[in-house]
Amino acid sequence: MYVSHLACPKCDATFDAEARRQVCTCGSPLLVRYALDQVADVLSPGVLAGRPSTLWRYRELLPVRETANIVTLGEGMTPILPLGKIGAANGMTHLSLKNEGLLPTGTFKDRGAAVGVSRARELGIDILAMPTNGNAGGAWATYCARGGMKAVIVMPMDAPVINQKEITAAGAHLFLVEGLISDAGRIVARAVSEHGWFDASTLKEPYRIEGKKTMGLELIEQFGWKVPDVILYPTGGGVGIIGIYKAVRELQQMGWIGERMPRLVAVQSTGCAPIVQAWEAGREESEYWPDAATVAFGITVPKALGDFLVLEAVRATGGCAVAVTDAEILDAQQRLASMEGLFVCPEGAATLAAAVRLAEAGWIQPEEHVVLLNTGTGLKYPETVDSRPPCLSPEDSLPPLSAP
């Protein structure tokens, strides 16, 4: 393992990576730092080419020391698919989508869970507790089951039922709360204090972000060790966009890619857009968003612990933050399914709605390479599709159809 230490991005304090750390003494999330010069001595794109197509191909840039501690279900190396029809219809010649819905539990949360659970196991932690809007709880419960660990999950009552069943099926201890993820987080914080459990909340442990970072590593490898012009990411807690930015910076420091940055776009819903509000106001941190509600339940995060890191990533890359309506999200979801054969989650669909908006405004140019991050399968969100097909009797005939 090439981890050198844990570092605070706010006060610059450093900590021993072998200790069980949650956040900095100042309250900020901690980031894993590596001896990148040493990594560059032993790792190269040529070496990676012969490795299995999982996120563990980037072992030297991940925080697990012993192979025996790795908890895996084969996660990683999701495809980047061209969106030729939708791109042409909206003035984007090189529009594509990285489809995280093909991961083991159907969402990108598997990446953070795989690395987070593996590192927790290595540090001797046997009980994890976390709040969730749904998918993260399902992923962490699943990987804890795989790794022989216990998980305590608290989620809003309005979270998707399929996630509740997924968590229960994995044997985790599930509790529902009448409120938002922020309310679930307060319950978890009290339990952690009372019982000594390890808090696996978003950015309250340093290792989830390292798993999410592999989205950026993969994407750039799939682009032939070049960066696309624009990456759009659905942003709730923001760990993914922080991780992608961290991946780009680490590859730059190792000399694998040039200094050009992809413009990172944080996409939110108008029903919960604290990052967008802060970006438009030029603030370094967001304010709590009251009465948060959106069909894209996974990004219903009224106040993210790492909001300042999301805003830093957006500004440092010349990106922006965009909020789209629920109507736009559902329309984009339907278009991706009917035009491209991709039934994506509403959070992923939000990135298409935002890309269309930015292309219409001229912020995205026609020839630019634009990547949408779909963070999960639409199969976990059946309620987003109004499906009421006609009912036939056994004697009825099907009507004729015109050619597409």
Q: Give the span between the Cα atoms of 115 and 207, in whole angstroms.
A: 6
Q: What is the pLDDT of residue 65?
A: 96
- Cα–Cα distance list, 228 to 22, 57, 367 (Å): 33, 22, 11
Does the structure show a pLDDT above 80 at 404?
no
CATH number of the domain located at residue range(s) 80-106+212-384 in this protein: 3.40.50.1100
pLDDT digits (tens, 9 = 90+) for 60-106: 999 999 999 999 999 999 999 999 999 999 999 999 999 999 999 99
pLDDT digits (tens, 9 = 90+) for 177-216: 999 889 999 999 999 999 999 999 999 999 999 999 999 9
Share of the chain above pLDDT 70, in %: 100
Which residue would you say has higher pLDDT here, 404 or 251? Answer: 251
Outline where DSSP puts E strands in 100-193. Answer: 127-131, 150-156, 173-177
Q: What is the pLDDT of residue 251?
A: 98
Q: Burial code of 210-220, b = ≥16 C-beta within 10 A, e = fewer?
A: bbbbbbbbbbb
Is the dihedral angle over the CA atoms 68, 210, 137, 134 positive or is it negative? negative
CB 206 within 8 A of CB 30: yes
- Helix then strand count (H, E) for the chain reads 13, 13
Does the structure show a pLDDT above 80 at 135?
yes
pLDDT digits (tens, 9 = 90+) for 329-364: 999 999 999 999 999 999 999 999 999 999 999 999
pLDDT digits (tens, 9 = 90+) for 9-33: 999 999 999 999 999 999 999 999 9
Among candidate residues 273, 246, 242, the one with its CA nearest the CA of residue 354: 273
- Cα–Cα distance list, 196 to 112, 127, 183, 188, 366 (Å): 22, 9, 20, 11, 53
CB 4 within 8 A of CB 18: no
Which structure tokens are listed for 294?
């959106």
Residue type at position 281: A
pLDDT digits (tens, 9 = 90+) for 229-269: 999 999 999 999 999 999 999 999 999 999 999 999 999 99
Q: What is the pLDDT of residue 66?
A: 95
Does the structure show a pLDDT above 90 at 403?
no
Does the structure show a pLDDT above 90 at 126?
yes
Q: What is the pLDDT of residue 311?
A: 98
Q: What is the pLDDT of residue 371?
A: 98
Which structure tokens are listed for 327?
């109507």
Please state the rounded mean pLDDT for residues 115-138.
Answer: 96
What are the residue boundaries of the structural domains of the chain, listed by start? 80-106+212-384
Q: What is the pLDDT of residue 387?
A: 79
Q: What are the residue ranges of helices labelled H in 234-325? A: 239-253, 274-281, 307-316
Does the structure show a pLDDT above 90 at 1?
no
CB 125 within 8 A of CB 75: no
Angle between the N-to-C axes of helices 239-253 and 208-222, in degrees from 0 to 180, rounded to the nearest 10: 60
